[in-house]
Amino acid sequence: MKFTALKTELFLHHLGIESEDPKELAQFYARTMKMEIISSENKTFHCLGPNRLLIFSEGQKQKLSFAAFGCRDEYNLNQLRKRVIKLGLDLQPFRSVFLKKGSFSVFDPDNHRISFGVPYKKNCDRDFLWGPLQHLTLQSLDVSKFIDFYQNKLGFIVSDRVINEDGIVTTCFMRSNNEHHTLACFKSQNIGMDHHSYEVGDWNLIRDWCDHFSDLGIKLFWGPGRHGPGNNLFVFIQDCDGNKVELSAELEIINGRKALDWAHEARTLNLWGDALMRS
């Protein structure tokens, strides 16, 4: 089937994250990630910043409620819908005040709700701390099922894989536009969200974000470092629920190269130092 997610130039538009105290979590992101709480009702809080949008609702701590990918127009969204229907996936309507009518969801093998729609307007006003929401990384017991679903059903493209000595894929990075990955998955003993990431653009902005975190008394959880796959610079912090948050810079832009395989070793995850190994 020729039509793929790559042709729609899908991008990660917003995330829904559950918390036992969504108000506190929203306030953390408003302060730490320079976002504004623009609405709150039924214990649901919408946090908006320049090209970054998160929705927090009451529920299980550290649980992904949904991931919403933006499509550039209705035509490409309908082409993706046709692909999903033809492949027999269970398509369900998805309602969001940030996406136009006609948005829909599917559920992946680990029961994550993955949604697609056309945003009403992309909030692209730049502030001095630029950092659009850019990718989501999951954890799964079986990365091969993740690859089969997102590549063969939704048409994401594999950029890089990490493979252990037994030939098992332990990490996969997938793209839906020319950025190295908009979605990734680590093999783990857990199922759920590993982290979400903001692409700040260049190294100097990572410095500026870290100074901002320092002013708030927030210590880095991991980094600074440089990933092998994607070749991006990074730092990590943790929010008040323990969710891992990445700030990335200079992520690889791919123009048609073949997927690469990397060894399952610490240096693959961090060319500069210690690695956060998931398996």
With residue 27 as reference, give the H or E element that holds it.
helix 22-32
Calculate mean pLDDT across residues 71-89: 94
In 3-state terms, what secondary structure has residue 172?
A: strand
Question: What does pTM read for this prediction?
Answer: 0.95
Preceding amide of 119 cis, omega within 30: no
* 1 pLDDT higher than 60: no
Mean of per-residue pLDDT scores for the chain: 94
Q: Where are the domains of the chain?
A: 5-117, 133-269
| Residue 126: per-residue pLDDT | 59
* 125 pLDDT higher than 70: no
Q: Parallel, antiparallel, or unpaired for β 233-238 and 244-249? A: antiparallel
d(CA 22, CA 156): 31
Closest CA to 268 of 136, 161, 137: 161
> CB neighbours (10 Å) of residue 206?
21
Q: Parallel, antiparallel, or unpaired for β 11-19 and 52-58? A: parallel
Q: Measuring CA to CA, how many Å separate 254 from each of 61, 173, 177, 230, 251?
A: 35, 12, 9, 9, 10
> CB neighbours (10 Å) of residue 113?
16
Q: Is-same-fold flag (5-117; 133-269)?
A: yes
Q: Measuring CA to CA, how many Å separate 24 from each of 52, 56, 239, 241?
A: 18, 10, 10, 9
Domain covering 5-117 assigned CATH 3.30.70.2190 in the classification? no
Q: How many residues does the chain have?
A: 279
Per-residue pLDDT band for 123 (boundaries 50, 70, 90) equals low
Per-residue pLDDT band for 165 (boundaries 50, 70, 90) equals very high
d(CA 156, CA 181): 9
| Residue 2: per-residue pLDDT | 65
| Residue 39: per-residue pLDDT | 81
With residue 45 as reference, give the H or E element that holds it.
strand 44-49
Work out the percent of the chain whose per-residue pLDDT is above 90. 89
The CATH class of 133-269 is: alpha beta
